[in-house]
Structure 1
């Protein structure tokens, strides 16, 4: 009899216990504390080589300022852990709090290694350090091809968009920029202004035209170059003040290298030269000083291309 009572009691306890469990609120699943698996993506660099890089990289060192402003425009600035602070343009001041990894031509390899990046982005200025940088992390070269500036710029922008999974956003911004460029190019072509682009460096001047580093003025924005025989060169073709007066352009675009690198710019005023004063450009107030931080230290990005377009618009006012 006692055994039957005990069995009945245990059965009742189990029944009520199951009811309590059934009525208890269900706990939400806790998120995993494990790191997600690292995914990669294959992209093509400036030399048409395929490279495997992290998808959605978390720690990126960026030497190419054009790529840096594209990353900023795509709202991925938080991924940047190191930049070339010694040569950081003013328009990229939002990265001043990021670690300094040397200059554009002198990367601090020890500092970069300490940051343990999962991707390093470079351009032509860092080419001689590429092998050393590759010992630290994958190195993506996004140099701009001067023979097709806008085309290679767009390719590089979309490469970064792929890496960050921001293709839709990048295409939207590029479409807007292309619309602005097309409209401006039409105006520039119709203006029929003859232009000359000069790099000013401590009193010395070099000329640039089609197929050169500043050729976006002619090849993309539509201004007519007054001299199409200028030899393509990274540093431009060295010319004299007499040459400028002889060509006598309607517009002179000037990039002041001395100001860009923080040198002594006390004599950096092309318009004060007596020969330059005699040019049509000077007499019509068409010597346009372009932002050296954008044109000499950067370029080839979403933001820098927009700033370049804003700069050359002054020639039509």
Structure 2
């Protein structure tokens, strides 16, 4: 075959190959574009969700400016990779595990929202919990308000519902489901260990020397109702602030484990060792003798809860009972 003919054949083959590759690339790009369009269409611009009180709220999907007072919801937003959407938080009341949000705008305090500041931000919506309940009407004049307070009569079910509500807003239900399944597995493992141990526990808040105890369906019901620890006293009345008790009461009940949440430390008070640990009557209990007076992270347990990250951190905290 002549040289000129060989060149013509080679050139033609090369051109055909280039066209095929180009077509393949175009087809692949078109497919990816179609997938993206389908995903976008699958999530409407607005979505109706149900808050913790059973009220229907319509909010924008994939929001760009959200004011978040509920720290559990804040940690869920972060766990789902959507931190950039957070426009303001209660900066002064952030738990230590969420200090990365100190760089965003301040929305005021947990009990005293800065309405003027929030209004200036023009948020897509505002997430609150029980502490902001008295300001709800004022906040609703600024933007839709999504109340995601935890139902203490069914802590884990309420937590899961709130996580999935947030996930549906951001279009992250698949990721949230994976995270919830992982938490569910860890809770099941913890509960089996707690029930097998038969450890009698007492969960208390310490506040400048004063004690309050918590039982089932109360603020820290997750310890007993969800994590499976036996409560040393089943007669404790459910209350937001707990049932006031004395150190004599603690000795009388003689728990195997005492979980302590130091409110004073949580709100920036004295950071020294909690008075519960040093109390002479507590030292005489089984918990005191066996070094099972466990101080839980106060900023986590007092200021947060009900989120993806906070639930796992709470699991990690109570597991110290087995060490």
SS of corresponding position for 1:189 = helix
- Does structure 1 residue 123 correspond to structure 2 residue 129? yes
- 1:316 and 1:190 map into 2 onto residues whose CA distance is 11
2:230 aligns with: 224
2:147 aligns with: 141
2:195 aligns with: 189
| Structure 1 residues 3-152: aligned runs within 5 Å | 39-152=45-158
Instruction: Report the Cα offset of residue 269 of structure 1.
Output: 2.6
Instruction: Report the Cα offset of residue 267 of structure 1.
Output: 7.0
Instruction: Report the Cα offset of residue 120 of structure 1.
Output: 0.3
CA-to-aligned-CA distance 1:103-128 (integer Å, 9 cap, x gap): 10010001101111011000010000
Instruction: Report the Cα offset of residue 264 of structure 1.
Output: 3.2
- 1:96 and 1:222 map into 2 onto residues whose CA distance is 35
- Does structure 1 residue 259 correspond to structure 2 residue 262? no
- 2:234 and 2:59 map into 1 onto residues whose CA distance is 40
Q: Under a length normalisation based on structure 2, what TM-score does the superposition of the two structures give?
A: 0.86
1:245 aligns with: 251
SS of corresponding position for 1:264 = coil
Instruction: Report the Cα offset of residue 39 of structure 1.
Output: 1.3
- 1:265 and 1:294 map into 2 onto residues whose CA distance is 15
Instruction: Report the Cα offset of residue 266 of structure 1.
Output: 4.6
- 1:51 and 1:187 map into 2 onto residues whose CA distance is 40
* Alignment root-mean-square deviation, CA: 1.4
Q: Is the 8 Å Cα contact of residues 203 and 267 (structure 1) preserved in structure 2?
A: no
Structure 1 spans left out of the alignment, 5+ residues: 1-35
Instruction: Report the Cα offset of residue 271 of structure 1.
Output: 1.3
- Does structure 1 residue 210 correspond to structure 2 residue 213? no
SS of corresponding position for 1:136 = coil
- 1:150 and 1:259 map into 2 onto residues whose CA distance is 26
187, 199, 209: which one aligns with 2:205: 199
- 1:273 and 1:177 map into 2 onto residues whose CA distance is 35
- 2:201 and 2:270 map into 1 onto residues whose CA distance is 27
- 1:235 and 1:123 map into 2 onto residues whose CA distance is 16
Q: Under a length normalisation based on structure 1, what TM-score does the superposition of the two structures give?
A: 0.87
Q: Greater Rg, structure 1 or structure 2? A: 1
| Structure 1 residues 163-182: aligned runs within 5 Å | 163-182=169-188
- 2:322 and 2:184 map into 1 onto residues whose CA distance is 19
- 1:267 and 1:158 map into 2 onto residues whose CA distance is 38
CA-to-aligned-CA distance 1:12-31 (integer Å, 9 cap, x gap): xxxxxxxxxxxxxxxxxxxx
SS of corresponding position for 1:212 = coil
- 2:115 and 2:188 map into 1 onto residues whose CA distance is 42
Equivalenced residue count is: 282
